[in-house]
Structure 1
């Protein structure tokens, strides 16, 4: 099955979609990974495009956090899932600083809250960039590789994505549970 757009357009789509601050990019990453399995895209380029877009999104949310500060976090906390994410992130961010961004990628609304909070708390940009880069790379690689596995098993990118997406979401939910589990001290 052929890619419905040129590879360059596909990489730009992945980069662009992953850079939208509040849009779920996982289905796009899984789909692109599935196309990489049949050779329509290069796997490292898909992961790099997704991670770069996600990093850009993190930096935008950090800037919003610096500008809007506590008012933005208050607004995010109005939703139950947002309030849980803000509470979880804030408790850890006060202990470990921007490194909290890495596991927050696997908590619903976590990376949103983490990057906004890092900005609101006026944490230094350098460590935020490092943490966001690591988190974005791990997150991107996980979802793209799950799509790749689905495409490799089925030899069809659409069937592969349909197979991999529920597995990716289940793994994401499991990682969210692990990341948010209470840790001593």
Structure 2
């Protein structure tokens, strides 16, 4: 808690913005815990709701776009050389590549909810020469849903926001991926049904 309180107290919205960029590009920052803490600060009325949401979403969008561009222009050779320094292993990249090939747009959205995977998804999209417009459409929707979800969660939990950190430490990325894919798939199915009516 102390590190997030220091960053948010001293750097406020700009601190949130830049930390999310760095976390999504690949630094080992527990972004979900940070966002939940911001929601807690909104609960305490130490931060305002809309500026917090705005900075979180824009920071996420900038970070995921940088990751895509790194993947597109520097490619797999760059990731193999420098990826392990940011906990981006070849095994993790291969896992994301397989899921990306199978689910594409769904994985761009749901990947945000899988710790340690969201930035790799963007690298893989870039390396796969996935069209930027299509990437942006789904990845930016994911940024809005992801950032808003954890800020709302922190606000809802109030003083119990630290339970999120404990929960994340005991939850594997596979469980999160399964939950996220089910949730996003349900949304797409519902939208398709509405269109067909």
Q: Which residue of 1 aligns with 2:165?
A: 165
CA distance in 1, matches of 2:85, 2:164: 32
Map of 1:17-32 to 2, 5 A cutoff?
17-20=19-22, 21-23=25-27, 24=29, 25-32=31-38
SS in 1 for 2:156: helix
SS in 1 for 2:130: coil
Map of 1:13-162 to 2, 5 A cutoff?
13-20=15-22, 21-23=25-27, 24=29, 25-75=31-81, 76=83, 82-151=89-158, 154=159, 160-162=160-162
> TM-score, normalization: structure 2?
0.71
1:171 Cα deviation (Å)?
6.8
Q: In 2 relative to 1, CA 15–81 (structure 1 residues): closer, same or farther, beyond 3 Å?
A: closer
CA distance in 1, matches of 2:99, 2:8: 43
Work out the number of aligned pairs and report it: 172
> TM-score, normalization: structure 1?
0.75
Q: Tell me the alpha carbon deviations over residues 85-119 of structure 1, each in whole angstroms, 9 at most, x when there is no partner.
A: 32332123234434421111122321121100111
Is there any run of 5+ residues in structure 1 with no aligned partner, and where? Answer: 155-159
RMSD of aligned alpha carbons: 3.3
CA contact (8 A) 2:8 2:15 kept: no
Q: Which residue of 2 aligns with 1:10?
A: 12
SS in 2 for 1:137: helix
CA distance in 1, matches of 2:91, 2:73: 22
1:125 Cα deviation (Å)?
0.8
Is there any run of 5+ residues in structure 2 with no aligned partner, and where? Answer: 183-197
CA contact (8 A) 2:7 2:15 kept: no
CA distance in 2, matches of 1:30, 1:139: 11
CA contact (8 A) 1:30 1:147 kept: yes
1:68 Cα deviation (Å)?
1.5
Q: Which residue of 1 aligns with 2:190?
A: none
